[in-house]
Amino acid sequence: MNFNEVDVLFAEEEIQEKVAQLGRQITADYKGEDLLVVGILKGAFIFMADLVRKIDIPLELDFMSVSSYGTSTTSSGEVRIMKDLDYSIENKSVLIVEDIVDTGLTLNYICEILKKRDPKSVKICCLLDKPSRRKSPIRPDYVGYSIPDEFVVGYGLDYAGQYRGYPAVCILKPSVYEK
Ligand code: PRP
């Protein structure tokens, strides 16, 4: 990690403990159900990989990729599906996994689409939540950390395509994006 560019917000060990906690809770809540864990690419890939290894019940995985219209910093709320799910979600207990919920517009759109496909339930698990930025009524069911409106990278989250592989969640220093 380049500490000239980032400050650690949540260290690797701390995140692992949090993910294990979420996994235990999800394991208890979904016992006996047909659980389908849906990751929203790309940001969710690391969190999801760690989370499913802490969920101790049979589950299936699927992925969706969406892209929002608008600039990189302002989301318009209009979302286009770049990759849809491979499988039917009818009668499945769907758990959407996200790295971060910000305005909530992306998840609002995804939930609307998925609910039309007759799942048994649709819930959301995110590692990070920025409730102060919300523009839609999305409320994640499982939240790792509620955070203030900081520019975060690492553990799947990027800035201009970089930093996703950092093992910690970090705050990007303004000197990097104000260049
Ligand atoms: C991020 C994140 C969510 C979305 C949240 O994805 O993974 O999908 O933004 O923002 P919202 O709550 O304001 O809609 P991004 O578009 O950066 O794509 P990525 O996952 O490929 O990095």
What is the model's pLDDT at position 119?
98
pLDDT digits over 6-58, tens only?
999 999 999 999 999 999 999 999 999 999 999 999 999 999 999 999 999 99
Q: Delineate the domains of the chain, giving CATH numbers in brackets.
A: 30-150 (3.40.50.2020)
Of residues 126, 132, 128, the one with CA closest to residue 110: 126
Contact 159, 153 (CB under 8 A): yes
Q: Distance, CA 5 to ligand 1 centroid (Å)?
A: 21
Active site residues: 102
pLDDT at 133 over 70: yes
Mean pLDDT taken over the chain: 94
pLDDT at 70 over 90: no
pLDDT at 76 over 80: no
Query: What is the pLDDT confidence band of residue 78, given thresholds at 50, 70 and 90?
Result: confident
- Mean pLDDT to the nearest integer, 137-155: 97
> Which amino acids bring their CB within 6 angstroms of ligand 1?
40-43, 68, 75, 98-106, 158
Atom of ligand 1 lying closest to residue 101 CA:
12
Query: What is the model's pTM?
Result: 0.94
Query: What is the pLDDT confidence band of residue 79, given thresholds at 50, 70 and 90?
Result: confident
